[in-house]
Amino acid sequence: MARKNNIGRRPTGTPRGGRRTGDEEQIRIEEDDTLVNVVEVGDQGRDFFERNRKPLIIGVVALIAIVAGALLYQTFIQRPAERTAAEQMQQAQYQFEQDSFSLALTNPGQGYPGFLDIADEYSNTAAGNLANYYAAVSYLNLGQYEAALDYLQDFDAEGELLPAMKMGVMGDLQSELGNLDDAVDSYREAVDASGKNFVTGGYYLNKLGLLLRQQGRDQEALEAFRRLKSDYANSTEAAQADKYIAALESQG
């Protein structure tokens, strides 16, 4: 029997020629659709840019102008204003430290402005903001509590120390105004804002305990003094806590 040769035979695994199967036809159609979609997307993108070229360019230019303007403002306006405000406030701070609160507010001397003018003229600076706090404390010491409250509310307290100081002064003001429940709440907030700072934490927790005791809220006062002794043992006020604890416990 004659042996058959392999000439003309299709190697194993190669696709058949001739008419396409259904699957192959579907693949070709999907590939064609994908190519059309890519072309359409590109055309749509170019068309969108062409139709909106002017507003897009205006938008980019405006964004660049905003960024550049912010940088220029910081460099040539904000920073010099910060330095000027800090320098202008030094004389008022000096009078404040001397307990000359009226002078510190309006006429600290040597041609320098007081806290009121600094708070108004440099309101967009850190020094101008701090002038609100100084003004509030000055008015508090002068017995002008409503004015003190106005300036304290304008004071934007940020950082680790200032929030506690703001709420502490708020407690003092509310106490002077006879709003004792509000004063208690403010002192609590001052203690919470102090965190682990034993200077402000101890100071305002002691004030809280004394005010609670004054109101006859002995159990709350006892808890405040115990916390003062345990959480703020390094504070100056903690040294006096034992006598209050002993007095309150004896009443219980």
Band of the pLDDT at 124, cuts 50, 70, 90? Answer: confident
% of the chain exceeding 70 in pLDDT: 69
The answer to whether residue 166 scores a pLDDT higher than 70 is yes
Domain 159-252 has CATH 1.25.40.10: yes
Per-residue pLDDT tens digits for 193-206: 999 999 999 999 99
Q: What is the pLDDT of residue 24?
A: 47
Per-residue pLDDT tens digits for 143-164: 999 999 999 999 999 888 999 9
Q: What is the pLDDT of residue 205?
A: 97
What Rg, from alpha-carbon coordinates, does the chain have?
Answer: 38
Q: Where are the beta strands (DSSP E) in 24-152?
A: none
**Cβ atoms within 10 Å of 228's Cβ, excluding its own:** 28
Calculate mean pLDDT across residues 66-89.
66
The answer to whether residue 174 scores a pLDDT higher than 60 is yes
Band of the pLDDT at 3, cuts 50, 70, 90? Answer: very low
The answer to whether residue 26 scores a pLDDT higher than 70 is no
Supply the mean pLDDT for the chain.
Answer: 79
Every domain of the chain and the residues it spans: 53-147, 159-252
- The Cα 70–Cα 123 span in angstroms is 18
Write out the two tokens for 83: 């330095």
DSSP string, 128-160: HHHHHHHHHHHHHHTT-HHHHHHHHHH----TT
Closest CA to 170 of 207, 195, 197: 207
Per-residue pLDDT tens digits for 79-112: 777 888 889 999 999 999 999 999 999 999 999 9
User: Which has more pLDDT, 47 or 96?
Assistant: 96
Per-residue pLDDT tens digits for 205-227: 999 999 999 999 999 999 999 99
19 half-sphere exposure, CB direction, 13 A CA radius = 2
Q: What is the pLDDT of residue 82?
A: 84
Report the amino acid identity of residue 208.
L
